[in-house]
Structure 1
Amino acid sequence: MSRAQRAKIDAMLRDQPQPESPPSVEQMRAGFATMMAAMTVPDGIETTETVLGSRRALLVEPAGRSRAGTILYFHGGSYIVGSPETALSLTGNLVTRTGFRALSLDYRLAPEHPFPAAIDDAVAAYRALLDAGVDPASIAFAGDSAGGGLTVTTCLSARAAGLPAPAAIVAFSPGLDGTRTGESMDTKAGIDPFFTREGLQRTGAMYLAGQDPRHELVSPAQIGDLAGFPPMLLQVGTNEILLDDSTRMAARAREAGVDVILDVTADVPHVFQAFTGILDEADHALDRAALFLTQHVHPGES
């Protein structure tokens, strides 16, 4: 356990300047891009801009020999901010650890494009891969934060559209309950250095644009039908107000007969996996995620 590393990151996150009034969407996007640009992107990857469905995507590949397998990645950012570039430390590390390629989707963001635009883009991207002849047994969904939520809601929406399930789901600190009713919303208040209930209510209102959060594609940890889902890995930290999004999703998956691993790391913040190189737990968690992916992504077995 790296107590000193965890304490340093917690202090760094709490030391961020707090605006006197809520920032504009443009300020939120610029600030998030600046923060994520400081994360370590591994050597040994190549990136290429492409199109998946109707949206831009970033293809991230090993610089050397690759293995057959595709990670369809959904970046985080509360459905308001973020891009494939802000998630490059995560996609890059998954690629170098697995040898698979990753396609990181630039899905539409709220408030310009509220729910369910991001889910529609994600399903269209998955359909494009399938239409191109990519074996669903060779595809895994992965994502962080809001993108972690998209791994689940995209699977739900794809199933409703008659598409086959992917081989696996990996979700880092996923947002899975738009009703914000998990106990950790209160028990972790003040402990979480990233989020507050008020902040999540603000971005959630932008995403929903007046729609009811009691919807399977907004709150799957509460009301999602997970029957037939692929194996899932949920990674989360104990310092997150979103902790119970993962714990309740894991329980719901078990009840539905889904293979699920709930991987909880003590005293780490939201999407701690991004802090590779400065937090031992980040590298260890990514190693476990890569092992899970290589165990479940098997082309030709669908």
Structure 2
Amino acid sequence: MSKQQRDALDALMRGWPLDLGGELTTQRPLMQQMMTSHPLPEDVTTEPGELGGVPVVTVDVAGAHPTRVLLYLHGGAYAMGSAAAAAGLASELSRRVGIRAVSVDYRLAPEHPFPAALDDALAAYRGLLDSGVDADRIVLAGESAGAGLAVALMTAIRDKGLEQPRRAVLLSPWADLALTGASMSDRAKLDPALTADALRRRAADYLGDTTPMDPSASPIHADLAGLPPLLIEVGSHEILLDDAVRLAARAARGEVDVTLHVTPGVPHVFPGFAAALDEGAEALDRAASFLRAAFAT
């Protein structure tokens, strides 16, 4: 692990022009540009399509298992981001697991407030099942808001009586839209990417008239019993640190097999910087090992 790498990444993120709480007409294309500024590796191909009426992008890596799928939910505070922009991180994870990824283009707020994103995620999961992919061949992953959405999706899958995916990886989950974690304030100076004010604005966009205590919007309040094994990755420099810690505790109370890994000195969704950060590559390796174990039996 390199302090020089961590310091360089911190400086880079503090200099970003992206403002998560800024005007969406400006920030959405800026985020898209930033997320797609590096071309995908030559052995990665993407293909747009749909599942259950929801737009998706299928991400194929050379040599991937043809019938196993990683269903991926992107971040962006429910108001930014896209399935295509998430293809880079999804492919890095799917490459390590040896399976294809399907990234979901769920509808964004404020044009489509809660529960539109959750409805789309569930429709895409149903569509994947309807396409002939068995649930025991599906694993799930998400980053930031997408990680919180992944938890809400799994509770909806349980409540609808559907079979769960085998395992799920949650990268820096945003799981409390009321922003009540102590890390919102005590990690504020350490976090180079997120601010409570920005998340508060995006939470209002997503929630509309819904209370932030709704367990389908803030899964730290959900009954998580019956969920598959979870791996939660978070950095110690995140204002969302307590979201991850409390989500893990909530899962443990529900008798869920849950692993929480806190990496010191790294920022939000640090696995996304694996090319420049040793800790990011190590986190992706851990996540891949965790997901591969789903197919070992």
| TM norm structure 1 | 0.94
CA deviations 1:128-179 (Å, max 9, x no partner) are 1112221111111111011011110001112112211111111111111111
Alpha-carbon distance change, 188 to 40 in structure 1, aligned in 2, over 3 angstroms: farther
**C-alpha root-mean-square deviation of aligned residues, in Å?**
1.6
Residue in structure 1 matched with residue 54 of structure 2 by the alignment: 55
CA deviations 1:242-283 (Å, max 9, x no partner) are 011110111111121111110111111111111121111111
Is the Cα contact below 8 Å between 1:40 and 1:276 reproduced in 2? no
Shift of 1:64: 2.9
2-structure distance, mates of 1:93, 1:285 = 11
Letter in 2 for 1:14: R
Is the Cα contact below 8 Å between 1:73 and 1:143 reproduced in 2? yes
Q: Secondary structure at the match of 1:180?
A: coil
Residue in structure 2 matched with residue 121 of structure 1 by the alignment: 120
The percent of aligned pairs where both chains have the same amino acid is: 46
CA deviations 1:96-152 (Å, max 9, x no partner) are 111111100110000100000000000001111112221111111111011011110
1-structure distance, mates of 2:187, 2:198 = 14
Letter in 2 for 1:234: I
Letter in 1 for 2:270: F
Q: How many residues align?
A: 296
1-structure distance, mates of 2:175, 2:288 = 22
Residue in structure 2 matched with residue 281 of structure 1 by the alignment: 279
2-structure distance, mates of 1:158, 1:90 = 25
Q: Flag structure 1 segments of 5+ consecutive residues without an equivalent.
A: none
Residue in structure 2 matched with residue 15 of structure 1 by the alignment: 15
Shift of 1:285: 0.6
Residue in structure 2 matched with residue 74 of structure 1 by the alignment: 73
Shift of 1:48: 1.2
Residue in structure 2 matched with residue 292 of structure 1 by the alignment: 290
> Which aligned segments of 4 or more residues in structure 1 are displaced greater than 4 angstroms?
none
Q: Secondary structure at the match of 2:123?
A: helix
Residue in structure 2 matched with residue 140 of structure 1 by the alignment: 139
Is the Cα contact below 8 Å between 2:248 and 2:260 reproduced in 1? yes
Is the Cα contact below 8 Å between 1:74 and 1:143 reproduced in 2? yes
Shift of 1:39: 5.0
2-structure distance, mates of 1:70, 1:2 = 33
Q: What pairs up with 1:165-176 in 2 under 5 angstroms?
A: 165-176=164-175
2-structure distance, mates of 1:119, 1:18 = 25
Instruction: Select 2:251's aligned residue among 250, 253, 263.
Output: 253
1-structure distance, mates of 2:10, 2:251 = 31
Which is further off, 229-238 or 82-91? 82-91
Q: Secondary structure at the match of 1:171?
A: strand
1-structure distance, mates of 2:163, 2:199 = 32
Q: Secondary structure at the match of 2:65?
A: coil
1:110 aligns with 2:100: no
Is the Cα contact below 8 Å between 1:94 and 1:286 reproduced in 2? yes
